[in-house]
Amino acid sequence: MTGAITTERILALQAAYIRCIDSDALEAWPDLFTDECLYVVTTAENHRLGYQSGIIYADTKGMLVDRVAALRKANVYEKQSYRHIVGLPHIIKNSGSEAEAETPFLVARIMHDGETSIFATGVYLDTYRAAGVDLKFARRLAVCDSSRVDTLMALPL
Amino acid sequence: MTGAITTERILALQAAYIRCIDSDALEAWPDLFTDECLYVVTTAENHRLGYQSGIIYADTKGMLVDRVAALRKANVYEKQSYRHIVGLPHIIKNSGSEAEAETPFLVARIMHDGETSIFATGVYLDTYRAAGVDLKFARRLAVCDSSRVDTLMALPL
Amino acid sequence: MTGAITTERILALQAAYIRCIDSDALEAWPDLFTDECLYVVTTAENHRLGYQSGIIYADTKGMLVDRVAALRKANVYEKQSYRHIVGLPHIIKNSGSEAEAETPFLVARIMHDGETSIFATGVYLDTYRAAGVDLKFARRLAVCDSSRVDTLMALPL
């Protein structure tokens, strides 16, 4: 799977990403990003208004690694788990080595007592970069539809 | 992407369709249909009983354009937004220039105050038609599972 | 579509599977499994603890056929229906004739009065086997996230 970015490679990266989070394999999550990257969780309203900050903001892979370490300390997986369902990516442009796509998501949250609810819906605005056999996220903006999204969010989206 | 209908082209059209609605780009939505087309929103019960009418019924692209104009006048996007998650299409037949497939959907509705709920679930019964580089819907029946679906539905499904 | 297992064939089998259940075509469901097969519905907690039994357990296609017959007798489709939304499969290994993948799911349940709720979320742990033109499930473990899942489950997941 070297060479040009294909739909199939994009689907595979999307599937690998949510698996890291939902299967409690969070240590593998930063590696899906390029070293210099942008990972932001924000709301549709803030995104429309052009605010950069967001609920979560990281612009290096190192910041993602730190985040995982903090989550492990806080033992967040004992309290809850997520189940991401991602839809089909809409590919906006694809130069072969870099591509942009939008992918809708719905995340259910399952509390320790089994209660399940819709935690968030939204769209990932992504930039993919190919490097040999690897496809990685150079940029992932998780734009949540609801303005009510939990700003003390524990796990990444 | 000229020539025969492929799974990849079907996935791309599905992704483009829901993006029009969920990203408030409704003006681009009618163009995903052929000029003579059928777009119906109905319930599983009415569909089983063979009723044609449905909650929404349009049999030309012009009717879809009119619908968008009416929605803009009513400012429906200020009150709510949708998030469609479509599943994988089950392709029933594919002649190369025309194909039929069934695709499940779940639509979350996000109210202006941020409240999020399941608005509708169901299945799209689609006929796709290829015309050169374009793939379009010749027919899209959105069959909702619940009989309780909001009959004053604002946005298309 | 003979020969090696491809992503496209996996997507097609996933789509066919949920269609059997959600479109009340349950008689076609056992045929998506190999004759010797394993179909288990369990919870994440029981799976983690290594319990084999599960909420549903079947290890031959004949047991699946029996299950369908029992469901028809109980008329379960009059009381409720399901809508499965499956995400993208994460392919773990693929020898060409056998593959393993994990696929997330969300199932909405629609009661006869139209009420719709999240019934279950989780992940399918699957082993696929190719036999000529056919791709079948040699093993499907439906691992539900919530420990609260209805143990009197009527329809298969």
The whole-model pTM stands at 0.93
CA distance B94 to chain C (A): 14
Which pLDDT belongs to residue C75?
78
Nearest-neighbour CA in chain C from A50: distance (Å): 31
Out of A47-51, B89-93, B117-121, B153-157, which region has the weakest mean confidence (pLDDT)?
B153-157
Alpha-carbon gap, residue A54 to A42, rounded angstroms: 4
CA distance A72 to A64: 13
Nearest by CB to residue B108, choosing from A88, A121, A123, is: A121
Other CB atoms closer than 10 Å to residue C23's CB: what's the count?
A: 15
pLDDT at res. B1: 47
Nearest residue on chain B to A123, judged by CA atoms?
A: B83
Nearest to B114 among A7, A91, A146 (CB): A146
Q: Which two tokens stand for residue B58?
A: 């349009």
Write the single-letter amino acid at B101.
A
CA distance A136 to chain B (A): 21
* pLDDT-flagged residues of chain A (< 50): 1
Q: What angle is formed at CA A155 by the lines to CA A154 and CA A157, rounded to 5 degrees?
A: 125
More confident residue, C15 or B153: C15
B23/A102 touch (CB, cutoff 8 Å), yes or no: yes
Mean pLDDT of C22-29: 95
pLDDT, tens digit, for every residue of C88-138?
Answer: 999 999 999 999 999 999 999 999 888 999 999 999 999 999 988 899 999
Q: Which of C91, C104, C146 is nearest residue A85 as measured by Cβ atoms? A: C104
How many CB atoms sit inside 10 A of residue A151's CB? Answer: 10
Count of beta carbons in the 10 Å neighbourhood of residue C51: 12
Contact in structure between B126 and B139 (CB atoms under 8 Å): yes
Using CA coordinates, name the residue in chain C closest to A17.
C90
Give B85's contacts in chain C (Cβ within 8 Å): 85
Chains A, B: CB contacts under 8 A, how many? 65
Nearest to A40 by CA among A128, A123, A142, A155: A142
| C85, C86, C110: residue with CB nearest B146 | C110
Residue pair A122/A108 in contact (Cβ under 8 Å)? The answer is no
State residue B96's pLDDT score: 92
Structure tokens at B66: 């009119």
pLDDT over 80 (residue C24): yes
Q: What is the mean pLDDT of residues C18-45?
A: 95
pLDDT of residue C1: 47
Separation in Å, CA of A10 to nearest CA in chain C: 11
Q: Using a CB-CB distance cutoff of 8 angstroms, which residues of chain C are in contact with residue B106?
A: 83, 85, 106, 108
How much is the ipTM here? 0.90
- Please give the Cα distance from A99 to A117 (Å, whole number): 33
Check whether C80 has a pLDDT greater than 50. Answer: yes
Angle between helices C7-22 and B7-22 (to 10 degrees): 60
**Partners of residue A104 in chain B, C-beta under 8 Å:** 18, 22, 83-85
Asked if B18 lies within 8 A of A85 by C-beta distance, the reply is no
Whether residue A147 and residue B114 make contact (CB cut-off 8 A), yes or no, is yes
Assess whether pLDDT exceeds 80 at residue B153: no
Angle A7-22/C7-22 helices, nearest 10 degrees? 60
Contact call for B19 and A102, based on CB within 8 A: yes
Which of C23, C108, C114 lies closest to B147 in CB terms? C114
% of chain C with per-residue pLDDT over 70: 97
Q: Answer yes or no: do B115 and A85 touch at CB < 8 A.
A: no
Are the CB atoms for B127 and B23 separated by under 8 Å? Answer: no
Instruction: Let me know: does B104 contact B120? Beta carbons within 8 Å.
Output: no
Residues of C within 8 A of A11 (CB-CB) are 7, 88
Residue B105 predicted with pLDDT over 90: yes
Whole-number percent of chain B with pLDDT over 70: 97
What's the average model confidence in pLDDT over C10-23?
A: 96
- pLDDT at position B132 over 50: yes
Chains that touch A (3 or more CB pairs under 8 A): B, C
Residues of A with a Cβ under 8 Å from any B Cβ are 7, 44, 85-91, 102, 104-106, 118, 120-123, 145-149
Instruction: Determine the residue type at C152.
Output: L
The B-side interface with A (CB below 8 A) comprises 8, 11-12, 14-16, 18-19, 22-23, 81, 83-86, 106, 108, 110, 113-118
**pLDDT tens digits for range B28-82:** 999 999 999 999 999 999 999 998 778 899 999 999 999 999 989 887 777 889 9
Using an 8 Å CB-CB cutoff, list chain A residues near C147: 113-114
Q: Which of C32, C83, C88, C155 would best serve as a mutation to test chain B binding (most B beta carbons within 10 A)?
A: C83
